Every structure is written in structure tokens, then in C-alpha cells.
Amino acid sequence: MASPAAAAAATGPAATAYWRVAGMTYMSYANACATHLRKCLKEPYKTQTAAREQVHYKITKWVDGVAQKPEFRGTGGFE
């Protein structure tokens, strides 16, 4: 079986994904596209999408096999 690099060379650069040619991962390419799209939106869609991009998560430290009090973090008003 041929390696992915050999398969890409056999099909030519035109068949290779743009994000791969740019040296990006798919996730970084998708995030860049989403950021540019959000910047192009007009109101009221811009504020609606800004509310959805907030991130909230919880960090729990473990000491000697026992969970400590969790710490909540995020980009918005998390309570």
C-alpha cells in the first residue's frame, strides 16, 4: 500500500486539499474559516453567533486518588 504522501504525489497537487497544501491541520483550517465567516456577518446574525462561541469547562485536580474542588473556567459569564 502506498503512503499518503506518495498517493498525493501520484494524483498531483490539484487533488490535494487546500488546508493540507498550506501546512495546516483540518481543525485549524476549519477554525480559520469560521472566524472569517463570523467577521463577515451583519447584525443581528453577528451577535447571535457571538453568543454561541462562548466556551465553558471544569478542571478538577486529583490528589492521592481524591478529587478536589472543581474550578470552573470559560470565556463568558459562567456561574
Residues 30-72: pLDDT tens digits?
A: 888 888 988 898 999 888 888 777 788 889 999 999 999 998 8
Q: How many domains does the chain have?
A: 1
Say if 37 falls within a structural domain. yes
**What is the residue range of 59's domain?**
4-74
C-alpha cell at 69: 474542588
Task: Report if pTM > 0.85.
Answer: no
C-alpha 73/C-alpha 75 separation (Å) is 7
Say if 79 falls within a structural domain. no
C-alpha 25/C-alpha 55 separation (Å) is 21
Say if 58 falls within a structural domain. yes
